[in-house]
Structure 1
């Protein structure tokens, strides 16, 4: 058996197979160009060097797009309606409900993300959250006369929907009186200077503040002053006056072709960003697939899935400006159906409003019959949170939070089963059969 070298040409002259100097051709072997500056010969078939790649070391240099993203981020953080997320430091906007902002862990909804609010039953509590989301954007536009910081787009409904936006919460009558008194006391006048509190009174106030933890509340208020315009509290019994104008909101009608809706949205967003590149666009889709608004043909997977997927593509394209909130009735499209599961997968975050049944509602009303302000309407279940769930964290909370749509605002708090008082002891009698007189139900702990 014979062996040959890889450089040996079959049937060639053995003397010609000897290594020749660079640039000298051998029989059957093409000539090689001499090395330049210590580099090897150029490889045929490769194009010109790619921009952004170092030719000497082969390393990728920072691309100019990163610098543009940094500029967009810096400009966006100057928007009074934007603050960094407490977890990821992403630009985040408020949902219009401070309680909802807290349970989402980011202190709001990160820009470029979507929130799907599912609701069981025939109630419409989700519309309260959607209207607060829209009102928050309108309030941000009224902070400066010459600068618009937000724009809201509503899909499927007309201008009549905007007439029900809630107004700012001004506090209870007692709180309004206290605010007026503090405003008058803050003004410099002869009467205020003459009635200044003495040092003993100041020391007493400090002791009371330490005793009841009032200093902690003051520290929280000071911390919130950094983003004082980020979030507002709204009164659902009052309407926003004056109402939103054409610069604040745009209404996009439905179309049989979802591409027409997406093209119209794309045009509106680009038009708004021409005036202010750091403007926040709030996209609202109320009562998704509700038969009173949507044609039954829209619930076909060939329409709704590409439509929602296109909305997700818009969020990724305008990741520094666009956020979306949509509501979905679960009685018409339950969670175990494939359509709802696909929508949940496409959404960045999902919460579920689950009203109490009649038995639980009766129990809560009986337990809080003397305190009607504590009566809750249902549970808030969290199935998915923005960014965190996409990274693999199992952020699922069921039966841990409850909501109540009070006379003035929508609140979310930790859920605890109420304890029903035993009313069997009529006449205030104890177990030994003796009457010990009237008993108080108030808390007397100091």
Structure 2
């Protein structure tokens, strides 16, 4: 009878007895897992908008967002500029429909401010003791790693990746900060002179989808694509032939199929002017059904300056002045597990304000106290003796 050690495996080659090699995880810049269900998310470039998206603390990949805006203001396109600038800084590929290449020169620059003097670091003894789960949250309700510039990394260690950068509207994006690529696709196609009457030219919307699908196939697997469709159906950017319901709905169907085909690589944001196409029409309701998230901006008629001139001193009170209302109609990936912190936002009234350094800030709506609500000061009683000496 032979004896054999119990920790030895019978008929196992010596090479297999070693520890198996662990597969290295490929980290994509600007992408992190959702704290709710672990799906990959990216940033919209606006920290307060990231916290609003169904508790995922970011924009889930493979989804779309429809931003509707009333009036003649430009808040929706400001969100698109933040979205495009964040993608170029993170090294993503940005696809823009209907804009020229000069639109890239209008993107805001990365902010280099470390914070205002009012938010300076306080002593440890003066800090209010709060729960550990709320200590990592900022005043706007967003995690600290998606707001503002971070402290430099220690020498010899890898620099910490920033999920959402802060941008300055008074400055333009420097070429040194651009790591990604931007492609601009025309929305109006000139007819060919040699074309026959029987030839059928595909619309610019179909060509846009086909070109993006080709670039996604030829791009590396780690490349994230951001699709931007500004002011859909606007007569200043699109011809009248593209305003037909069959053209637009087929385009949104194709865009939705592209997002579902590449769920971990593509996101899209579309803006729509409600002044030309109100929500009461069935056409707009079908567009909302084909979008994963729908947000409505209702600007107020105020004499507020969207972007102050360069060199102007910023006032914190004027920057945080309410400039409009925000209504959430639907959120992307709002499943049976719940929406996290967005449950309250979906029910409460929200407002927004555009700040020079902090971007578009979304917060709960509250009316300022009226003049008549202030308590009146009672006059001093004349019968009481004067005790002053």
- Whether TM-score is above 0.5 comes out as yes
Could you tell me which of 41, 50, 65 is aligned with 1:101? 50
1:169 partnered with 2:114: no
Query: 1:350·1:382 contact (CA, 8 Å) conserved in 2?
Result: yes
Task: Determine if the alignment matches structure 1 residue 121 to structure 2 residue 63.
Answer: no
Cα distance change, pair 213–279 in 1 and its aligned pair in 2 (3 A) = same
Q: Is the 8 A contact 2:228 2:269 kept in 1?
A: yes
Q: 1:313 to 1:106 in 2, by over 3 A?
A: same
TM-score by structure 2 length?
A: 0.71
Structure 2: gaps (5+ residues): 1-22, 151-158, 190-201, 305-314, 383-389
Q: Which piece of structure 1 moves more, 293-302 or 388-397?
A: 388-397
**Equivalent position SS for 1:100:** helix
Deviation at 1:136, TM superposition (A): 0.7
Residues 147-162 of structure 1 mapped to structure 2, 5 A cutoff: 150-162=92-104
Query: Counterpart of 1:11?
Result: none
Query: Which of 329, 337, 350 is 1:383 aligned to?
Result: 329
State yes or no: 1:206 paired with 2:124. Answer: yes
Cα distance change, pair 220–122 in 1 and its aligned pair in 2 (3 A): closer
Q: Distance in 1 between matches of 2:374 and 2:123?
A: 45
Partners of 2:296 and 2:103 in 1: CA distance? 23
1:253 aligns with 2:186: yes
Matches of 1:223 and 1:370 in 2, distance apart? 20
Q: How far apart are residue 244 of structure 1 and its match?
A: 7.9
1:380–1:398 CA contact under 8 A, matched in 2: no
CA contact 1:80–1:227 (8 Å) conserved in 2: no
Question: Which of residues 34, 56, 59 is equivalent to 1:85?
Answer: 34
Which residue of 2 is the match for residue 430 of structure 1?
377
CA contact (8 A) 2:65 2:268 kept: yes
| Compared CA separation, residues 263 and 372, structure 1 to 2 (3 A) | closer
Following TM superposition, by how much is the alpha carbon of 1:291 offset from its aligned partner in structure 2, in angstroms?
Answer: 0.7
CA distance in 1, matches of 2:336, 2:230: 24
Higher alpha-carbon Rg: 1
What runs of 5+ residues in structure 1 fail to find an aligned partner?
1-70, 142-149, 180-203, 362-368, 436-446
Deviations 1:165-210 (A, max 9, x none): 011122278569x89xxxxxxxxxxxxxxxxxxxxxxxx943223x
CA 1:391 to 1:347, structure 2 compared with 1: closer, same or farther past 3 Å? farther
SS in structure 2 at match of 1:208: coil
Partner residue, 1:404: 353
CA-CA distance at 1:85 after TM superposition: 1.3
User: CA separation of 1:301/1:132 partners in 2, compared to 1, >3 Å: closer, same or farther?
Assistant: same
| Aligned-partner Cα distance in 1 for 2:362–2:88 | 23
**Within 1, Cα distance between the matches of 2:33 and 2:333?**
14
Does residue 344 in structure 1 map to residue 294 in structure 2? no
Q: Within 5 A, what are the aligned runs for 1:273-352? A: 273=219, 276-352=220-296
Higher relative contact order (CA 8 A, sep 6+): 2
- How many angstroms apart in 1 are the aligned matches of 2:114 and 2:160? 24
Shift of 1:98: 0.6
TM-score normalized with structure 1 length: 0.62
Secondary structure, in 3 states, of the residue corresponding to 1:206?
coil
Structure 1: distance between partners of 2:31 and 2:348: 30
